[in-house]
């Protein structure tokens, strides 16, 4: 995906996500989990654990990882990859903060559908 | 013929640029400066010491009048430039002076941001930007009234400290949860907050300013949560924005700031911009180091060096408040490709964190001891390879590159009179002698005989090393299972230290107990949250982000991400009214499955998360509250029908079950607690495999505990016999309180009882009546804060963010 065809969509205020928490963005290609770390960084992942599809948005956020609520897989917020002995990954979705607003590029999810 | 160089603005960046230019090409330009402020160039960074009274204006002047005379520079003080005529190559001041230029430098700096709340234009609402602001503050401070500073960043804190120093009563209002969140991680932010509060400055975080009120002048600040803060002055220190209006009016390309290339040239080749008004590579700058770098590049360009280029590099921040040592530099966010080294020395109030990426220092945060910050910043800027000194890196330059000190050798090298345990004043010689002469083999023995490490426990590691050095291989420490990889401490040590050190928040605890990670993990955070809830009822602010999802949303997550909802049915009793309400909810929300549970409740399965508050609202209306089927807390009290109906019943088992449940619901425990009351020894409520069970008999009540019927199957142990219902309730509450105080997080009662000893527990509850009463009283006290129905609170809107997506793009996409 190149920069030119990125589509940034405003999905709300950063303040809408609790620190060390997450919120969900619904899209026609599935849910996106937008995380906010203790350092006030944001990351967005497909809201489906690579293990059994658990909603990562409901997990406990620590450092730059989230622990899935279903079976405690730990997923990196930066790479989407499972940590430790577990293998698997979810898509990361581009996200940025502009003047306190959250912008995501949901087309990445569609790209997967098309593929 | 000299070229004409005109400078708009006389701040630190153009000042530095001219200094460098005059060194490199003293004869090349005729220089004219227009300064909107009626004064010479002064050091803006020193405004804080000026405000606090540590410095005078004369001491912060960079270029006095003599400097301008000496270099033949014409300075117009108090002349604001009104317009630039690019075609004629002239600038015109508000006072009507027009000056021609060959080269023009725009250095208009930045403007403080004023939040446009009602009342923001009242007299007494100040910003913190220049000498005039400081003078206004100093005059206001003479009245010794109250000041509210909006903004807990660098400038806000410095303004607050200065005003406090001048004798004002100061409150800082900060929008974010921690101070200086752009420069500091949360831990350092908390330490800073404590240090600032210790100076008598009040701090309100997560505080949103709604309005400023007053008649002719400011009288106070109103926050969004309704808090009213009286104030004689209000200082807004919420940030700055580049002052680029003049450039924009002249038709130059302006985004956030005046866009410049690597040579500081604007879109007009004769015009340059420097300082806070300039935007280089998409970034604007506010700290002095990059501004000075810009100035150096600009001077080189003007002197004829076409290769000089500005590349933004890492910047460092220091807080200029006397007595608070704070330093941050680079990028200190966490990341997969990054590693961190954290040093915490709680007793000395020191916190150091280094972030390392590809064997290079990427960021650093120091609190308490910043003596070596220059050395670290140099490593960071140079991008030096630190892999060879990594082991000792955090200890600073005195250890750099040296061999890592073997801790055992270090302990062995200590003299006999070296103090090991500060709390109890125990020196090395005494411990070594006790170990050798009395043949001590375990840490507990050493604690019992010498008192070393028996109080706060922070010297435990040292004592263990001493034992190892003295006993050699004969010392085999009973392995304490650490809570999780974030700490070396076990659950019991953490619980003991929470009380001994009066730790009352998770960040405080992690700092004091020297946690290895900056915000813990999914294993320790829920445990710590429980320990703090259980230890400090009414004081500790529950951290919902440290709770497992089920306890956060008060329902049980299912494999497909939906939730199950279990309303409370006291003692397993229900009614037509309740069942009808349940049936209506099932229909209304199309709930796919309804099931009767093992604990005599009804479980509604497959509820969508967004529907939870509405489902609860309907159940609440029928008088039902949360059944806590998700909680590490009291779940259910199962009963049989007892003397009400049963021909064998000996006591009112249903009534007792309901009383216990009504008394104990809402309490948090280390793991779930399930109870039962059977009306006779036939035991239809299956009380003898529960965490706590009661078997009613003719003469009263047999209390059982420590049963299990899950992963393990285990019959209960008998705790004792009591004659009356009130006694039964007191015994059960005291037992549960003992478990709450001693149990490890996720440890069920039967495991705790095995560890603590059935007899030991029995003696404390059944034989020691004072202790039983004290435990009971503590349970009663903590219940004062736990019996609010979490469903009703959320129906009222609490934690609403949990139940709704932040955005729904499906509608928007459908429209496209």
Q: What is the pLDDT of residues B189-241, one digit of tens each?
A: 888 898 899 889 999 999 999 999 999 889 999 999 889 999 999 999 988 89
Q: Is the pLDDT of residue B26 over 60?
A: yes
Find out whether B252 and B83 touch, Cβ atoms under 8 Å.
no
- Residue B546 to residue A60, Cβ atoms within 8 A: yes
- Residue A63 to residue B332, Cβ atoms within 8 A: no
- Residue B809 to residue A21, Cβ atoms within 8 A: no
Cβ-defined contacts of B188-193 (< 8 Å, 24+): B188/B326, B188/B328, B188/B351, B188/B353, B188/B365, B188/B367, B190/B505, B190/B507, B190/B508, B190/B511, B191/B349, B191/B351, B191/B367, B191/B368, B191/B511, B192/B157, B192/B319, B192/B324, B192/B326, B192/B367
Q: Which of A61-75, B87-101, B353-367, B730-744 has the lowest mean pLDDT?
A: B353-367
Find out whether B578 and A71 touch, Cβ atoms under 8 Å.
no
Q: Which of A18, A39, A61, A64 best probes binding to B when mutated, by most B CB atoms within 10 angstroms?
A: A39
- The predicted pLDDT at position B813 comes to 66
Mark out chain A residues that contact chain B at CB-CB < 8 A. Answer: 9, 11-12, 16-21, 23-28, 31, 34, 37-41, 52-55, 58-65, 67, 69-70, 72, 74, 76, 78-79, 81, 102, 106
Gap from A79 CA to chain B (nearest CA, Å): 7
Residues of B in contact with A40 (CB under 8 A): 176, 181
The residue among B443 and B681 whose pLDDT is bigger is B681
The whole-angstrom separation of Cα B306 and Cα B326 is 39
Look-up of token digits 């520079």 = B73
- The predicted pLDDT at position A115 comes to 40
As a whole number, mean pLDDT of residues B9-25 equals 91
- Residue B333 to residue A41, Cβ atoms within 8 A: yes
Q: Give the relative orientation of helices B186-198 and B154-165 as an angle to the nearest 10 degrees.
A: 10
Mark out chain B residues that contact chain A at CB-CB < 8 A. Answer: 176-177, 181, 185-186, 332-337, 517-522, 525-526, 544-546, 548-550, 553, 557, 559-561, 801, 805-810, 812-814
Residue B522 has its nearest CB partner, among A21, A60, A78, at A60
- Residue B519 to residue A27, Cβ atoms within 8 A: no
- The predicted pLDDT at position B401 comes to 47
- Residue B801 to residue A16, Cβ atoms within 8 A: yes
Q: Is the pLDDT of residue B374 over 90?
A: no
Residue B402 pLDDT class (50, 70, 90 cuts): very low
- The predicted pLDDT at position B816 comes to 61
Q: Are strands B634-639 and B713-714 parallel, antiparallel or unpaired?
A: unpaired
- Residue B807 to residue A67, Cβ atoms within 8 A: no
Residues of B in contact with A106 (CB under 8 A): 809
Q: Is the pLDDT of residue B348 over 50?
A: yes
Gap from B187 CA to chain A (nearest CA, Å): 10
Gap from A24 CA to chain B (nearest CA, Å): 5
Look-up of token digits 């917020």 = A77
Q: Which of B115, B485, B561, B816 best probes binding to A when mutated, by most A CB atoms within 10 angstroms?
A: B561
- The predicted pLDDT at position B406 comes to 57
Residue B777 pLDDT class (50, 70, 90 cuts): very high
The whole-angstrom separation of Cα B343 and Cα B449 is 32
The whole-angstrom separation of Cα B702 and Cα B676 is 12
- The predicted pLDDT at position B395 comes to 83
B520, closest residue in chain A (CA to CA): A62
- The predicted pLDDT at position B383 comes to 85
- The predicted pLDDT at position A114 comes to 44
- The predicted pLDDT at position B424 comes to 66
Q: Which of A68-72, B112-116, B458-462, B525-529 has the lowest mean pLDDT?
A: B458-462
Size of interface A-B (CB pairs under 8 A): 118
- The predicted pLDDT at position B746 comes to 93
Distance of alpha carbon B155 from the chain centroid: 20
The whole-angstrom separation of Cα B692 and Cα B708 is 10
- The predicted pLDDT at position B345 comes to 81
Residue A12 has its nearest CB partner, among B522, B560, B806, at B806
The residue among B381 and B118 whose pLDDT is bigger is B118
Residues of A in contact with B332 (CB under 8 A): 39
The DSSP secondary structure of B499-567, one letter per residue, reads HHTT--SHHHHHHHTT-SSSS--TTHHHHHHHHHHHHSTTTS---GGGS-HHHHHTSEE-TTS-EEE-B
A29, closest residue in chain B (CA to CA): B810
End-to-end Cα, chain B, rounded Å: 65
- Residue A78 to residue B522, Cβ atoms within 8 A: no
- Residue A106 to residue B335, Cβ atoms within 8 A: no
Contacts of B42 (CB under 8 A, 6+ apart): B57, B60, B61, B62, B131
Q: Which of A87-91, B119-123, B422-426 has the lowest mean pLDDT?
A: B422-426
Q: Is the pLDDT of residue B30 over 60?
A: yes
- The predicted pLDDT at position B458 comes to 58
Stated pTM of the model: 0.57
- Residue A37 to residue B559, Cβ atoms within 8 A: no
Q: Is the pLDDT of residue B773 over 80?
A: yes
Q: Is the pLDDT of residue B715 over 80?
A: yes
Q: What is the mean pLDDT of each run of 10 residues along chain A (115 residues)?
A: 70 93 93 94 95 95 94 94 88 92 86 50
As a whole number, mean pLDDT of residues B569-584 equals 96
Residue A63 has its nearest CB partner, among B181, B334, B546, at B334
- Residue B557 to residue A70, Cβ atoms within 8 A: yes
What tokens does A41 get? 């960084």
For chain B, percent of residues with pLDDT exceeding 90 = 56
- The predicted pLDDT at position B705 comes to 97
As a whole number, mean pLDDT of residues B90-99 equals 92
CA–CA distances in Å: residue B298 to residues A26, B5, B106, B208, B309: 50, 12, 11, 41, 9
CA–CA distances in Å: residue A27 to residues A90, A106, B612: 16, 8, 21
As a whole number, mean pLDDT of residues B289-304 equals 90
Residue B323 pLDDT class (50, 70, 90 cuts): confident
Residue A69 has its nearest CB partner, among B181, B557, B808, at B557
Q: Is the pLDDT of residue B249 over 90?
A: yes
Q: Which of A3, A8, A16, A38 best probes binding to B when mutated, by most B CB atoms within 10 angstroms?
A: A38
As a whole number, mean pLDDT of residues B534-559 equals 95
Q: Is the pLDDT of residue B785 over 80?
A: yes
- The predicted pLDDT at position B446 comes to 86
Gap from B221 CA to chain A (nearest CA, Å): 22
pLDDT in tens, B442-488: 887 888 788 787 665 557 777 888 888 888 777 766 566 788 889 88
Gap from A11 CA to chain B (nearest CA, Å): 5
The whole-angstrom separation of Cα B630 and Cα B554 is 6
Q: What angle do CA B92, B96, B102 make, to 5 degrees?
A: 30
Residue B338 pLDDT class (50, 70, 90 cuts): confident
Residues of A in contact with B806 (CB under 8 A): 11-12, 16-17, 23-25, 34, 102
């Amino acid at each position: 995906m190149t920069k030119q065809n990125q589509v940034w969509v405003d999905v709300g205020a950063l303040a809408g996500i609790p620190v060390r928490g997450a919120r969900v963005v619904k899209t026609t290609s599935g849910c996106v989990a937008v995380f906010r770390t203790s350092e006030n960084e944001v990351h967005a992942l497909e809201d489906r654990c690579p293990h059994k599809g658990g909603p990562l948005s409901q997990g406990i956020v620590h450092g730059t990882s989230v622990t899935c609520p279903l079976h405690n897989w730990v997923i990196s917020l930066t790479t989407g990859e499972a940590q430790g002995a577990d293998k698997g990954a979810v898509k990361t979705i581009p996200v940025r903060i502009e003047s306190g607003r959250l912008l995501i590029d949901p087309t990445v999810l569609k790209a997967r559908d098309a593929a | 013929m000299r070229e004409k160089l005109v400078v708009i603005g006389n701040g630190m960046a153009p000042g530095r640029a001219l200094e460098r230019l005059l060194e490199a090409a003293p004869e090349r330009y005729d220089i004219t400066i227009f300064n909107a402020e009626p004064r010479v160039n002064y050091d803006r960074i020193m405004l804080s010491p000026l405000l606090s009274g540590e410095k005078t204006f004369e001491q912060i002047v960079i270029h006095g009048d003599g400097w301008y005379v000496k270099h033949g520079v014409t300075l117009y003080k108090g002349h604001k430039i009104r317009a630039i005529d690019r075609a004629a190559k002239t600038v015109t001041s508000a006072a009507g002076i027009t000056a021609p230029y060959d080269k023009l430098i725009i250095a208009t700096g930045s403007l403080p941001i004023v939040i446009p709340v009602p009342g923001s234009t009242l007299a007494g609402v100040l910003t913190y930007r220049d000498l005039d602001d400081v003078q206004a503050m100093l005059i206001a401070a003479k009245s010794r009234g109250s000041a509210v500073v909006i903004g807990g960043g660098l400038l806000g804190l410095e303004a607050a400290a200065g005003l406090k120093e001048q004798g004002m009563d100061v409150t800082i209002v900060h929008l974010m949860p921690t101070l200086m969140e752009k420069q500091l991680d949360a831990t350092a932010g908390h330490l800073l907050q404590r240090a600032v509060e210790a100076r008598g400055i009040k701090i309100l975080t997560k505080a949103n300013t709604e309005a400023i009120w007053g008649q002719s002048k400011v009288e106070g600040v109103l926050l969004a949560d309704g808090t009213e803060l009286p104030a004689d002055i209000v200082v807004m220190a919420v940030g700055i924005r580049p002052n680029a209006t003049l450039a924009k009016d002249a038709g130059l390309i302006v985004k956030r700031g005046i866009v410049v290339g690597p040579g500081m040239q604007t879109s007009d080749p004769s015009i340059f911009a420097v300082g806070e008004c300039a935007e280089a590579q998409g970034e604007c700058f506010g700290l002095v180091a990059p501004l000075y770098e810009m100035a150096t590049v600009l001077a080189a360009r003007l002197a004829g060096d076409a290769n000089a280029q500005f590349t933004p590099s890492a910047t460092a921040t220091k807080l200029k408040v006397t007595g608070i040592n704070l330093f941050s530099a680079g990028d200190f966010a966490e990341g997969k490709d990054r590693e961190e080294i954290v040093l915490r020395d709680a007793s000395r109030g020191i916190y150091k964190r280094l972030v390392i990426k590809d064997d290079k220092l990427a960021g650093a945060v120091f609190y308490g001891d910043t003596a070596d910050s220059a050395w670290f910043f140099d490593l960071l800027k140079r991008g030096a390879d630190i892999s060879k000194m990594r082991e000792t890196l955090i200890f600073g330059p005195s250890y750099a590159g040296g061999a890592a000190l073997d801790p055992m050798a270090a302990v062995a090298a200590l003299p006999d009179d070296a103090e090991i345990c500060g709390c109890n004043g125990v020196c090395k010689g005494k411990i070594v002698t006790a170990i050798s002469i009395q043949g001590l083999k375990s840490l507990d023995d050493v604690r019992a005989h010498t008192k070393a490490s028996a109080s706060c426990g922070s010297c435990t590691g040292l004592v263990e090393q001493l034992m190892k050095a003295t006993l050699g291989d004969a010392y085999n420490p009973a392995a304490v299972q650490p809570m999780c990889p974030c700490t070396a401490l076990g659950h019991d040590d953490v619980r003991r230290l929470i009380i001994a050190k009066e730790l009352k928040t998770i960040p405080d605890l992690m700092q004091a107990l020297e946690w290895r990670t900056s915000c813990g993990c999914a294993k320790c955070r829920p445990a710590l949250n429980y320990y703090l809830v259980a230890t400090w009822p009414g004081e500790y602010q529950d951290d919902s982000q440290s709770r497992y999802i089920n306890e956060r949303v008060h329902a049980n997550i299912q494999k497909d991400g939906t939730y199950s909802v279990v309303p409370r049915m006291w003692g397993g009793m229900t009614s037509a009214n309740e069942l009808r309400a349940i049936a209506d909810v099932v229909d209304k929300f199309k709930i796919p499955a309804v099931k009767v549970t093992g604990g005599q409740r009804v479980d509604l399965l497959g509820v969508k998360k967004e529907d939870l508050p509405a489902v609860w609202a309907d159940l609440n209306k029928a008088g039902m509250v949360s059944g806590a089927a998700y909680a590490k807390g009291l779940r259910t009290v199962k009963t049989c029908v007892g003397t009400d109906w049963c021909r064998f019943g000996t006591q009112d088992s249903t009534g007792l079950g309901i009383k216990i449940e009504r008394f104990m619901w809402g309490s948090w425990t280390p793991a779930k607690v399930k109870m039962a009351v059977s009306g006779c020894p036939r035991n239809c409520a299956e009380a003898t495999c529960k965490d706590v069970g009661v078997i009613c008999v003719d003469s009263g009540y047999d209390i059982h505990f420590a049963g299990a019927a899950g992963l393990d199957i285990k019959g209960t142990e008998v705790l004792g016999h009591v004659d009356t219902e009130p006694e039964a309730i007191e015994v059960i509450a005291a037992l549960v309180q003992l478990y709450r105080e001693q149990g490890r997080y996720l440890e069920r009662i039967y495991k705790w009882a095995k560890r603590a000893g059935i007899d030991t527990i029995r003696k404390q509850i059944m034989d020691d009546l004072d202790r039983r009463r004290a435990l009971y009283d503590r349970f009663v006290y903590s219940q004062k804060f736990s019996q609010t129905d979490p469903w009703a609170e959320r129906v009222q809107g609490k934690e609403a963010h949990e139940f709704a997506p932040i955005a729904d793009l499906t509608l928007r996409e459908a429209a496209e």
